[in-house]
Amino acid sequence: MTDRTEESYWRYDTACGGCPHKDSFLSVEPARRDAQAHAERCRALPRPEDAR
């Protein structure tokens, strides 16, 4: 998540490191929720293996 500073209307940007998903938000909480929700369903990166 990137904070663009208060001078920008869309202050927070989110971007996935494994797929083209990007979005912009006015406040931090919706940005965090979106990033977490995307991470839970994004299939661009392999899931971690069990550390057995």
pLDDT digits (tens, 9 = 90+) for 10-30: 789 999 988 999 999 988 999
Higher pLDDT, 41 or 4: 41
Q: How far apart are CA 14 and CA 21, in angstroms?
A: 8
| Phi, psi (rounded to 5 degrees) for 42 | -70, 130
* Model pLDDT, residue 46: 63
What's the predicted TM-score (pTM) here? 0.65
CA distances, 36 to each of 3, 27, 30, 52 (Å)? 17, 15, 10, 26
* Model pLDDT, residue 37: 93
